[in-house]
Structure 1
Amino acid sequence: MFKVLFVCTGNTCRSSMAAAIFKKIVEEKGKEIEIDSCGIAAVDGMPASFEAIEVMKEKGIDLSAHRAKKLRENLLNADLILTMTKSQRDYILNNFPELKGRVFVLTEFVNEGDFEDIEDPYGMGIESYKKVAEELWENLEKLIEKIEQKSEK
């Protein structure tokens, strides 16, 4: 099964929301994709942030059971590893150069190389989380289209 891993810093905001949103999109499309998330500097077992849980709840997604996972080598067996920022992508590639071709900034992958970092909403209030959730949703809709196109070939 095709595996996608979302990576951010703490795995309590962006990557956890990205994984939850993408699971919903994948289920709605009737696709089978394994989806996970982790954080480069995550503290194992931390829950998603209150704001992330609230924003996802508004979108009909329950993020309350999420627990953060620190980036570990065993998680890097995904077919596609998508980070939220260029610095996160570079960190992974510097530490695991063999992953070249599988690690991208989410926006870089869906926009054919053109990208912007998805800013960390941590500590910025609920409106920042809503903005990030919308940005993620938009990019993840493009992601499922790209994956569908590749699987048709």
Structure 2
Amino acid sequence: MKQKEEKTNVMRILDREKVPYTAHFYEGAGGPEGDREYGLHVAQAMGQDAARVFKTLAARGASGGVYVYEVPVAESLDLKKAARAVGEKSVELLPLAQLNAVTGYVRGGCSPVGMKKQYPVVFDASAAELDRVYISAGRIGAQVEVSAPELLALLRAQTADITAR
């Protein structure tokens, strides 16, 4: 674990909105491996249950709208369920080349808090059963632990069964 780091934009937004959080820092190990492996590395590096650590995925619907999905790091997004959750015919994950332009974040450091625009956010239904969740603090190597109900309220997020099981 790294020592105290400077605040990220995500942390500043949570402070401004008076949403308590605990910052966690870890050695970032982004790389060519898949999202699942990277997310599991993050959970392991922080000593946390992977079911509480959520990864942020951005997708574009058939209508052209952008949607943000939060799924546990050990799970995969089911695109059909994801589309149904937002009333779209279909959704496709944003190409990596578009991620920064659309969200303001890079792969491995994407957070539902503080994107360039407030896109609709859908958390996997499992988040509603948790008291606290971990999400990216907006850069590789930083996570925030936050109350699940408070985070869902801040983001005006909905929950739905969106993982491939």
Identify whether the pair has TM-score above 0.5, normalized to the shorter chain.
no
Bigger fraction of residues in strand: 2
Normalised by the size of structure 2, how large is the TM-score?
0.30
Bigger fraction of residues in helix: 1
